[in-house]
Amino acid sequence: MVPAASLMPSAEEAIERFLAGGQRKLRRQIRSYLKWLETPEGRMSDPKAAQQRFVFLKLRFNTILDQFDIFSDVVTQRSEHETGTWLAGLDSVAVDALRIPGGFFSPPPLACYLDRGHGAAIRRARTRLPGGGKNPVAIIRVPRERMVGSGVASSLVHEVGHQGAVQLDLIQSMRETLKRKQREDGSSRFAWQLWERWISEILADFWSVSRVGVTSTLGLIGVVSLPRFFVFRTVGDDPHPTPWIRVLLSSALGNALYPHPQWEILARRWKTFYPVSGVEPDKARLLKMQEKHIPSFVRLFMKHRPKSLKGRSIFQVFSAPERQPHQLMKQFRRWQVNPSLIDSAPPALVMAVIGQARASRALSPEQESKVLLKMLTHWALTRRKDDLVTDLAESRYSKFKRTRLIA
């Protein structure tokens, strides 16, 4: 891979430590087994016992290979022409999107890779890996089809939101609040039950809207624009909201954070794409009931004060003045006058500005894609430069310590 395409040092070190630790442990187990075979106890043991220990080692070996394969695409794709550098740029967007003002948690290392398929996914950091051990790095899978515009930020930051929501314990906190509402509001009990079932995905969608604005909702529409059967389908145990409701909820959350007529326009347009007329009567009634309940849910959601936010509400922490639509367009016009200003802007903010300009028709799809790829490369190169400066500083500090020790 070219240097700019490399993983972030924290991610690379975490992966290397994890894999090397697993290999060392397996090597010790194998040596212990071979040594045991040569002992009197081993030579006199039942072949069945020796076979059982061997099979255990074989399974452990395959587990090590499974864990290696989990990280394989993350690393090897970095050698693909252009793709590797773009992935390094996406890493920078993901890291920036996970940061929220207040320092409420320490973010884990993140790494992105591309794969076929329709939707993005995340293997969260600190979750159990096959065969045991906790994942040292949050691994985000991005569909290749998303690499054509700022819509990639919608999928990417949604997955980042899953990691952030767990770090802040927002899922459990919201579930307790929604369970309480089910007991208090008997007439809307079923609606609150659905919000509780969907809360994990709702929180991830909200995180995305809060960080990249209308870019998130437009990207979501791109993902869930499917044949009518799928758009109106409600599966009992599916943690994802019904796609038709999901887009309307994303627009409502966006309007609550960053009020603007664009959200209502998007919601109306979505309804013209997929009118409820023609849907089975029972399903249509359920959809209309849930749509009518969206304002109540959004009010409760925005006022929620989880312990992790230290007394502040979700709205207070996640609403960012610089991401208001008019501020994003003002920023875009500044960049048009002086393009060099974009280079110093935070990656997630750049994605929000590009998406807002695209939604406002101030940027064509071709221009949007061109700016996006240019910025992904810029962030990869900038990060590599920062890494080199850090490495040089650490090297000089180590040399200074050795000199002091000798003296």
How many structural domains are present in the chain?
2
The reported pLDDT for the residue numbered 404 is 47
Residue 383 lies in a domain: no
- Average pLDDT of 113-140? 88
Question: Which amino acid is present at 35?
Answer: K
pLDDT at 101 over 90: no
Residues 103 and 187 placed together within one structural domain of the fold: no
Asked if pLDDT for residue 395 goes beyond 80, the answer is no
Predicted local confidence at residue 401, as pLDDT: 47
Are 32 and 110 contained in the same domain?
Answer: yes
Provide the residue count of the chain: 407
Any domain includes 247: yes
Q: Are 342 and 375 in contact (CB under 8 A)?
A: yes
d(CA 113, CA 129): 18
Same domain (yes/no): 178, 315? yes
- Please tell me the predicted confidence (pLDDT) of residue 237: 81
Is residue 11 within 8 A of residue 133, CB to CB? The reply is no
The parent domain of residue 263 ranges over 168-319
Judgement on whether residues 273 and 213 belong to the same structural domain of the protein:
yes
Within this chain, do residues 105 and 30 fall inside the same structural domain, yes or no? yes
Transcribe 151-220 into DSSP letters: HHHHHHHHHHHHHHHHHTTHHHHHHHHHHHHHHH-GGGHHHHHHHHHHHHHHHHHHHHHHHHTHHHHHHH
| Residue with token string 């347009």 | 269
**121 is written with which tokens?**
């996914």
* Banded pLDDT at 321 (limits 50, 70, 90): very high
Residue 38 within a domain? yes
Q: Do 119 and 218 fall within a single domain? A: no
CA gyration radius, the chain? 25
Query: What pLDDT digit, counting tens, does each position of 337-384 carry?
Result: 999 999 999 999 999 999 999 999 999 999 999 999 999 999 999 887
Find the angle CA(225)-CA(111)-CA(98) to the nearest 5 degrees. Answer: 75
For residue 199, what are its two tokens? 């809360």
Confidence label for 387 from pLDDT (cuts 50, 70 and 90): low
pLDDT above 70 coverage of the chain, percent: 94
Average pLDDT of span 111-136: 88
Return the exposure string of 159-180: e unless at least 16 CB atoms fall within 10 Å of the residue's CB, then b: bbbbbbbbbbebbebbeebbee
Is residue 325 in some structural domain?
no
Asked if the structure places residue 43 within a domain, the reply is: yes
Cβ atoms of 147 and 114 closer than 8 Å: yes
Cα dihedral 4/384/122/95 (nearest 10) = -150
Residues 175 and 280 in one domain: yes
Predicted model pTM: 0.88
**For 217-259, how does the pLDDT look when each residue is reduced to its tens digit (9 = 90+)?**
999 999 999 999 999 988 778 899 999 999 999 999 999 999 9
Cα 140 off chain centre by: 6
Tokens representing 346 are 């935070």
Q: Say if 288 falls within a structural domain.
A: yes
Banded pLDDT at 386 (limits 50, 70, 90) = low
* Contact (Cβ atoms closer than 8 angstroms) between residue 131 and residue 67: yes
In the predicted structure, residue 137 carries a pLDDT above the cut 90: yes
Q: End of a domain among 94, 123, 152?
A: 123
Weakest-pLDDT range from 161-175, 194-208, 234-248: 234-248
- Angstrom distance (rounded) from CA 194 to CA 58: 45
Residues 199 and 282 in one domain: yes
Q: Name the band, by pLDDT with cuts 50, 70 and 90, for residue 115.
A: confident
Which range (125-134, 178-187, 290-299) has the least confidence? 125-134
141 token code pair: 């899978």
338 occurs within a structural domain: no
222 with 315, same domain? yes
User: Hey, is 134 helix, strand or coil?
Assistant: strand
**At which of 289, 319, 349 does a domain end?**
319
Of residues 114, 309, 106, 328, the one with CA closest to residue 203: 309
Coil, helix or strand at residue 121? strand
Find out whether 231 and 247 touch, Cβ atoms under 8 Å.
no
Residues 96 and 172 in one domain: no
Considering the domain architecture, whether residues 289 and 177 belong to the same structural domain is answered as: yes
What tens digit of pLDDT does each residue of 16-49 get? 999 999 999 999 999 999 999 999 988 888 888 8
**Residue 204 falls inside a structural domain:** yes
**pLDDT > 80? residue 392:** no
Q: Which of 278, 302, 319 is the last residue of a domain?
A: 319
The whole-chain average pLDDT of the chain stands at: 90
Looking at the structure, do residues 83 and 216 belong to the same domain, yes or no?
no
Q: H-helix or E-strand containing 139? A: strand 138-143
Asked if pLDDT for residue 131 goes beyond 80, the answer is: no
